[in-house]
Structure 1
Amino acid sequence: MNKKFTTAFIFMASLFSLQIQAQEFETATEAVKNMGVGWNLGNTLEANSQTYHDFTKDNYWGQQGLESETCWGQSKAKPELIKMMKDAGFGAIRVPVTWYNHMDKDGKVNAEWMKRVHEVVDYVINQGLYCIVNVHHDTGADSDSFKSWIKADEANYTQNKARYENLWQQIAEEFKDYDEHLLFESYNEMLDKLSSWCFASFASTNKYDAAVAKSAYNAINSYAQSFVTTVRNTGGNNATRNLVVNTYAACCGSGTWNDHLKEPLSQLTIPTDPVANHLMVQVHDYPNIANGIANVKKEIDDMMAAWNTHILSKGIPMILGEWGTANVDEGDGKTDYDVRRDVMFEFVDYMIAKCKENNVATFYWMGLSDGAYRSLPAFNQPDLAERIAKAYHGSDFAGTYPTENDFNISYLVEYEKDWAELFLYGNYNSVSALKLTEYKGLRIEMDDNYGSKLQVKVYGDATGSSFKEAYYTLSANSKTTTVNFENAKTGSTVSRITLQTNVGATKAKINQVALIKSDNSEVKLSPTTAWGCTLSTESTPVSGIHELHYTPQTDNRIYNLQGQQIAKPQRGIYIQNGKKFIAK
């Protein structure tokens, strides 16, 4: 065999081998179909705080540690939670991550934070689920250029292009060996310099500014292209990893009340990609179902038609990365789940059915398991979780949906400073006032006597941001304290109830806490963090629920000679545990 022929043969064989290996990663279309229904691990790794920001100095970058994960009241993510979601019928988990508060001024991500993100990703991957990791609240409506530093604006892109690409290079390098179950999402809800929702420049004086809109859409497309190019250039499995780009503000094109509503879809330019069929587009949708199910169905149909016109018809698959309802009902803190559950369930059925028809994967935003429920883990909306699963898998699907009644629970609170507070009822974001004609008190059972250390603080009637307040010291003679609400001190309502320390750093354990109604029946409460404290739980499963232990990805993964991880090696030479072997 002559030398020229031999060289050509080797080249063609290598090219053929690469083509075969490229098929090991499913296409974006296949991935969307295989995800089924998904859930967002929300208010967790994307939570962030401005508490430590000194606006007079350029020291905002990297101001938070691992405590940011729980600073919005959620429990620390654990593998049992992901196992619960899998057993309930969910096939994919979106893991929103905020990075600015864990990056130094030069754009380097804190190693401990990257390690924690890596752990949570492994929780998902180890369950055989799809996982989406993104850049989340680095975009958004905040005017602080340190916090929401990524804006849909051409000048912003020019200024931050290098930092953005450097961030994605670090993320991509960290996970380059992961298989097709891990996807990367470019950015979350990126807004223009005016922080416009619905479509670019909507927040302008005239509700539309052509120059601002053009700059916004150009910037979105530039950021999307930077994302794809940066990830692909890191090689390994990132060469064919499925990637997700979002429309402007993740707008879905829903509605007909303005001629510009479809622009986020029509003005999105799909990035140039060196590999075919490995990109998908994400949108979000939170319709107002109070207008009636018929109107919601019509809105969904219109939205789907727009998706087909501008994206799906071009062969680009889509995911509905966040969805739910408008939620709060008339300012009283109750949600659609509370006040119109039947309509909400019908909406769930229709949304999932139409998305499934169009091969669009859905990721429900938060809810289902929230706050302390996640640490058990258990569902606080088990019937909604089951409805979502059955809407996709069919009415005969039999998932498992544990509730708090499946556990004996104690709450461990660690106070960090004087006057720190733990929410026993209510929170900062949603206040549903209790009428004292219906509720007369609170019962709290501790593991010990804390009369000299802790007190119950009751927030009553509100005037603007101020509340009438009443304080009740815990019993010094008993582990159980009963608080009788006093109208003279709190007015006619109770808005929030906290457990407050007056001795600085201290620890306590709550075995049970409940509201007492006027008829002496009780409503069990689940504490959440307020400020200056951390919260964890001790729980004993009643039956059938067992602890899982986190196990990192092992070193037994198989790679081809191009550094790509291979799930099913065919004939050829591969690397495992740093050594070559031949698959026959």
Structure 2
Amino acid sequence: MKRVGIIRQGLAFLILVSILVLLVKFDCIFATKGTSQAVDTGASELVSKLKVGWNLGNSLDAVSKNQGYKLDTETLWGNPKVTKKLIHSVKKNGFSSIRIPVTYYNHLDSNGKIDTRWLARVKEVVNYALAEKLYVIINVHHDAGLSDKYRWIYSDEVTYDIDKNNLMNLWSQIAKYFKNEGSRLLFESTNEIMDREKNWAWSYKQNFGVTAKLHNEFIKTVRATGGKNATRYFVLPTYAASSDEEEIRQILNYEYEDTQKNHLIMSVHCYKTDIDTIAKIMNRLGKYSKKYNVPVIMDEFGVKNDITSSKGLSLVKKYREKALENGVVLFWWDNGSEYGLFDRTTGEVKNKKVIDILTK
């Protein structure tokens, strides 16, 4: 009887150990799953989810310096107000992401405060897109852009302190307003920012580098607002959104003071209409993306006027083909007119052939 008892005790002990081992394994499985859900995937994986994007051009970015402080600027350049129907059509027809350019000039009071009604309208349109599960990029567009008619923030050593204060004033307010929005919302620091004289020559590359300095201040300013901005992804355009070598190097060589790792994305624009040039630019972007381990998006490109001609379609195909080869995500520039893919009033497709090339 004593021996049987010992055996029984031994079996009980083995069963207990087995149960404990199973519990540990069970717990580890859930711990690993929880960790994998919490770990940030990084900018490269996020960019792969953007897939193909569309620009809501000439709407929330419309501006008129002659009209001063004004709420209703959305229709200034001939497009109707943005509707849920339009954004639904963009998603329905295969786009995964949307860039919403925004200009603030007409919405600033004498103290530099953004009209909260304007911020509310921007948020309303952003929410149209988020409700469709689109990834969304918002930026500071013509304020820090290329056109002399609209720009007032520059990438210039001489006026750096003024420009930094003006740009950070905007972003501190924008960031606070959107601080609770989830990670599908991305912030893009500027647009096609240039120095006061619009210099392109490499002898002015110090002003190319000022763009990176402004980006660094943007990163610190937005991160400091807390909330979801503490881990938000940022898009950093090159000087003038150029795809040239030196402008790219000035952005990628800068040591940004970001509290997050792998949360930065570089962006460029391109409207070239020569197939060989397009291929060369795309290969360059792929090379630098791999060299610096920073994903790249071309968040403006398009083919004007001859959009549905055989030449126009061949150009779109080349952009798409070379973008896929080099891991570059494309965002079509739609201004509602010569680059338009959708009817801005009805949401109906205007250029199915182009959309099919981009999305299929």
- TM interval, shorter chain, is 0.7 to 0.9
Q: Which has the higher helix share?
A: 2
Deviations 1:274-295 (A, max 9, x none): 1111100000000124xxxxxx
Correspondence for 2:282: 304
* 1:45 aligns to 2:28 (yes or no): no
C-alpha distance 143-128 of structure 1, shift in aligned 2 (>3 A): closer
Deviations 1:316-335 (A, max 9, x none): 0010100013x2xxxxxxx1
Q: Is contact 1:157-1:222 (8 Å) kept? A: no
Q: Distance in 1 between matches of 2:164 and 2:328?
A: 31
* 1:274 aligns to 2:259 (yes or no): yes
Correspondence for 1:283: 268
1:76 to 81, 105, 115: 81
Letter in 1 for 2:172: Q
TM-score by length of 2: 0.84
2:191 to 174, 188, 191: 188
SS at match of 2:235: strand
C-alpha distance 273-74 of structure 1, shift in aligned 2 (>3 A): same
Correspondence for 1:177: 180
Correspondence for 1:64: 70
* 1:252 aligns to 2:222 (yes or no): no
Q: Is contact 1:82-1:124 (8 Å) kept? A: yes
Deviations 1:253-311 (A, max 9, x none): 2xxxxxxxx2111222442311111100000000124xxxxxx1x22232123223434
* 1:348 aligns to 2:316 (yes or no): yes
Q: How does 1:147-546 map to 2 (within 5 A)?
A: 147-195=150-198, 201-202=199-200, 208=201, 210=203, 213-253=204-244, 262-268=245-251, 269-270=253-254, 271-289=256-274, 296=275, 298-325=276-303, 327=304, 335-337=305-307, 341-366=309-334, 370=340, 373-390=343-360
Letter in 2 for 1:277: N
C-alpha distance 141-179 of structure 1, shift in aligned 2 (>3 A): closer
Moved over 6 A (4+): none
* Percent of aligned pairs with the same amino acid: 35
Correspondence for 1:101: 106
Q: Which has the higher strand share?
A: 1
- How many residue pairs match? The answer is 325
Deviations 1:129-163 (A, max 9, x none): 0000000000234446xx41211102222113223
SS at match of 1:154: coil
**Which is greater in Rg?**
1
C-alpha distance 304-39 of structure 1, shift in aligned 2 (>3 A): same
* 1:140 aligns to 2:140 (yes or no): no
Q: Is contact 2:145-2:151 (8 Å) kept? A: yes
C-alpha distance 359-372 of structure 1, shift in aligned 2 (>3 A): closer
Q: Is contact 1:150-1:157 (8 Å) kept? A: no
C-alpha distance 26-372 of structure 1, shift in aligned 2 (>3 A): closer
1:20 to partner: Cα distance:
4.7
Structure 2: gaps of 5 or more residues: 1-30
1:43 to partner: Cα distance:
0.2
Letter in 2 for 1:68: T
Deviations 1:504-557 (A, max 9, x none): xxxxxxxxxxxxxxxxxxxxxxxxxxxxxxxxxxxxxxxxxxxxxxxxxxxxxx
TM-score by length of 1: 0.53
C-alpha distance 102-126 of structure 1, shift in aligned 2 (>3 A): same
Q: Distance in 2 between matches of 1:153 and 1:50?
A: 22
* 1:127 aligns to 2:97 (yes or no): no
1:244 to partner: Cα distance:
0.3
Deviations 1:312-357 (A, max 9, x none): 32110010100013x2xxxxxxx1225xx21222222221122122
